[in-house]
Chains A and B, each alone.
Chain A
C-alpha cells in the first residue's frame, strides 16, 4: 500500500532522523515533517513510540514505524517501484549492508560520541585512536562494498551510505570544536572522497544541517566542563 499520508516525527539536527528523510527524498515521497521541540516529547511521539519514546517515527496512514534503519528498509519496500533501490538486491550484499550499518551504530558512532566527552590529553588521545581504528575498518568496508563505484551501494547512494553519511554533519562539528581532523584524507582517502560525494547528493543536500547552525546547537546542548 503506497497510498496514505506520510508524516515523519523528527528534529532537524538529528542524524537518525536524516536517514528516513534521505530515503523519502530518493523515492520522491512527499511527507509532512513534524518537528519535535528540543527538550520535550510530544503526545504523538509518546503514543507512536511507547517502547523507546524516540525520534524518528514514520507515520504511514497513521501506522507508526520506528528505528531509523528499519524505517529506511520500510520505505524501500513500500515504494519499491519508485526511484533507485535503497538496499542492494543480492542477499550477500544486503547482509553486508546490514552488518556494517549495525557496526556503525554500535561501534563507530559510539567512538565518535565519546570524543567530545573525553577529558584531558590522555582520554582525548584514546578516543581519537579508537575512532581512527573504526575509520580504518570502514575504509576497508567501503572498498569491499563499493567495488570501485562511487558509493557503498554502487552507482547511487543506498542504505549503508545513508547509515554512515547521516553523521557527517556532527563529525564536522566535532572536528571544529575539538580541533582534530577526524576523517583524514591521508588515512582514509576513499571514505573522505565518498563523504564529499554523499553530502552533494541531491537527496541529501536539503536535509543535511549547515555546520555553523549545528555547531551553535551543539554549544547549547552540550555543556562541556572546562579542562
Chain B
C-alpha cells in the first residue's frame, strides 16, 4: 500500500482544457491519481488553500505539496516520472517545445477567445488574427504525426486546447476558424490524436462537452455568430 505522501491528487474540472492536460500527462506516465472535481463557480476552501495566488484549477498535489499552472505541472510530472518522456531530451528541441506551448497559451488561446461573441467586421478581424497565429503551428506539423514527432509530446498536450476546444466548438460558436482547406496539417494531426488511446481516454465526451459549452454561452449571454 502506497504511503500517504506518495499519493497524487488532481484538483480539476471535467470540461477544462487545462485540467485535461494534466490527466493526459499522468495517463501517459501510468501514474494513478485521485481526481477531485471542482466547482469553479463556487470555489472550495481546499482550492483556495492550495492555490491562493490564482485560485484556479488545475492543482496537482504530490507529497502533500501543491503545484499550479498547467504547463508548470506538466514539467513537474516529466521531471518526477522519467518513463515515457513528454519533453524532448535535446536542449534545443526542448526549448522549441516550451516556446510553442507558451505560444499556444499566451497567443492562440487569447486570440481564439476573442472571436467568441463578436460579429461582423470585428469577428472577421478576430478570426484572421487567430488564423495568422495558427499558421505557425501548421508549419510545425509538416512531416510529423504529432508535434512531438512519432509520439505525443508536450506541445501536443498543450495543443489539445485547439483540437478539442477551439475546433470542437466551431459549430456552436458559429465560426469556422480552422477550415481544412487552410489547415490540412492540423486536421491530419487531430485525426492522429483521435486514434490515440490516451487521448480517447482523457478528453471530455463530445456530446456532454458541447451541451456544457452551449449552456455556458446562454448563461453568459453570448450569441453564436
Decide if A91 is an interface residue (CB 8 Å cutoff).
yes
Which residue of A is nearest B52, CB measured?
A: A137
Which of B68, B99, B136 is within 8 Å of A67, CB to CB?
B99
Judged by DSSP, the binding face of B is helix
**B16: min CB distance to chain A, Å:** 18
Highest count of chain A CB atoms <10 Å: which of B63, B68, B80, B95: B95
Judged by DSSP, the binding face of A is helix
A103 touches B79 (CB 8 A): no
Interface residues, chain B, with chain A CB atoms under 8 Å away? 53, 62-63, 65, 67-69, 71-73, 75-76, 79-80, 91-92, 94-96, 98-99, 102-103, 107, 133, 136
Q: Bound state CA distance, A203 and B222, in angstroms?
A: 52
Tell me which residues across on chain A come within 8 A of B67, comparing CB atoms: 92, 95, 99
Tell me which residues across on chain B come within 8 A of A63, comparing CB atoms: 92
Interface size class of A (residues with CB under 8 A): 20 to 34
Known: A99-B68, A103-B53. A73 touches B95 (CB 8 A): yes
Which of A60, A66, A77, A92 is within 8 Å of B63, CB to CB?
A92
Known: A65-B95, A71-B95. A92 touches B76 (CB 8 A): yes
Known: A77-B91, A103-B53. A70 touches B75 (CB 8 A): no
Decide if A7 is an interface residue (CB 8 Å cutoff).
no
B76 touches A94 (CB 8 A): yes
Known: A91-B79, A102-B69. A65 touches B102 (CB 8 A): no
Which residue of B is nearest A98, CB measured?
A: B72
**Can you identify 12 A-B contacts, CB atoms within 8 angstroms?**
A63-B92, A65-B99, A70-B102, A73-B98, A74-B91, A74-B92, A74-B95, A92-B67, A94-B79, A99-B69, A102-B69, A103-B53
**A117: min CB distance to chain B, Å:** 21
Query: A37-61 toward B: CB 8 Å interface, digit per residue (1/0)?
Result: 0000000000000110000000010
Decide if A78 is an interface residue (CB 8 Å cutoff).
yes
B69 touches A66 (CB 8 A): no
Q: Bound state CA distance, A50 and B107, in angstroms?
A: 14
Tell me which residues across on chain B come within 8 A of A74, comparing CB atoms: 91-92, 94-95
B95 touches A137 (CB 8 A): no
Which residue of A is nearest B136, CB measured?
A: A51
Chain A residues numbered 58-98 whose CB sits less than 8 Å from any CB in chain B: 60, 63, 65-67, 70-71, 73-74, 77-78, 91-92, 94-95, 98
Tell me which residues across on chain A come within 8 A of B99, comparing CB atoms: 65-67, 70
Q: Bound state CA distance, A95 and B78, in angstroms?
A: 11
A95 touches B92 (CB 8 A): no
Q: Bound state CA distance, A22 and B201, in angstroms?
A: 44
**A98: min CB distance to chain B, Å:** 5
**A89: min CB distance to chain B, Å:** 10
